Amino acid sequence: MPHSRIAIIGAPLDLGQGRRGVDMGPSALRVASLNSRLQGLGYDVEDLGNIPVEQAEAAPAVDRHAKFLPQIAAACEELANRVHSAMGRGCVPLVLGGDHSVAIGTVSGVSRHFRDGGKRVGLIWLDAHADMNTPETSPSGNIHGMPLACLLGMGPEPLASLAGFQPKIAPANTVIVGLREVDLTERPHVRESRVHAYTMRDIDERGLRAVMEEAIRKACDGTVGFHCSLDMDFVDPADAPGVGTAVRGGATYREAHLAMEMICDSRHMTSMEVVEVNPVLDEANRTADLAVELIMSGLGKRIL
């Protein structure tokens, strides 16, 4: 990384999905020695703790088409402000989720930072899902299936307009890698948005190296670099069982590491988040441990 200071921000948000447990993700990652392992790579690490998040039991869902929308918007606004502040102090933000709706806050803060200087940032979205539903198309009303739509300006207004502008990312600089489960009603959003979506078939046919080279090039075209949003369900559940919404047929252990190593080699990653680690569904914290390994690969750890 071109910077040596990392600001860790926990976002224990689980209101975006129906299955509980991802709110413990930040703790699981810290238990897996994230901070000390980053320091072992030579980084100065500042852990800013967790943002405050409402509990589902204390805040009943009102809108069944966009559940917990006010609470998620408040949490994402706080997260965006903390990310923006950290970047203003010269730190690289590393956000620990929480469900994937936290990306609305993370990317809003990152985009705002570069927008202040007249620049724009790209996005690499490593995920089994497109996360491009809207309240009108979502079968569940769970907002963790909507964050990318929100960042592109298509989601609920309180989230799409977070930080006072939209879209946060240009579709031409938005790349999804690892896609393998898309709702029928969501498919038109993916096709018509002009984002670049690489499915697992693309990876099977072309190989991960070719896909990642192209993904990095598109995310960097005319931008200062890219934010990396890593949903742990990008990895096959055989290696990452403790995730919010597991889907068979994902990236292998080595493919996941190669993706992160190539991201690091590009030297264009501006910020990062890891989401959907669910210790309730995990086995002896091994998904969190893998998440930390992938973070390390993304930040410079090498075999030799």
What structural domains does the chain harbor?
5-298 (3.40.800.10)
Concerning whether 183 is annotated as a catalytic residue, the answer is no
Mean pLDDT value across residues 147-172: 96
pLDDT band per the 50, 70, 90 thresholds, residue 3: low
Rounded distance between C-alpha atoms, residue 197 and residue 234, angstroms: 13
CB-count exposure of residue 79 (10 Å: 0-12, 13-18, 19+): buried
Find the catalytic residue in 144, 189, 196, 268.
144
Rounded distance between C-alpha atoms, residue 230 and residue 98, angstroms: 12
Find the catalytic residue in 23, 186, 276, 282.
276
Concerning whether 113 is annotated as a catalytic residue, the answer is no
Concerning whether 84 is annotated as a catalytic residue, the answer is no
pLDDT digits (tens, 9 = 90+) for 172-221: 999 999 999 999 999 999 999 999 999 999 999 999 999 999 999 999 99
pLDDT digits (tens, 9 = 90+) for 252-282: 999 999 999 999 999 999 999 999 999 999 9
Q: Is the confidence at residue 2, as pLDDT, over 60? A: no
pLDDT averaged over every residue in the chain: 95
Q: Are 51 and 10 in contact (CB under 8 A)?
A: yes
pTM, entire model: 0.96
pLDDT digits (tens, 9 = 90+) for 13-27: 999 887 789 999 999
Find the catalytic residue in 84, 113, 129, 268.
129
Q: How far is CA 93 from CA 113, 172, 212, in A?
A: 12, 24, 22
Q: Residue 199 forms beta bridges with which residues? A: 179
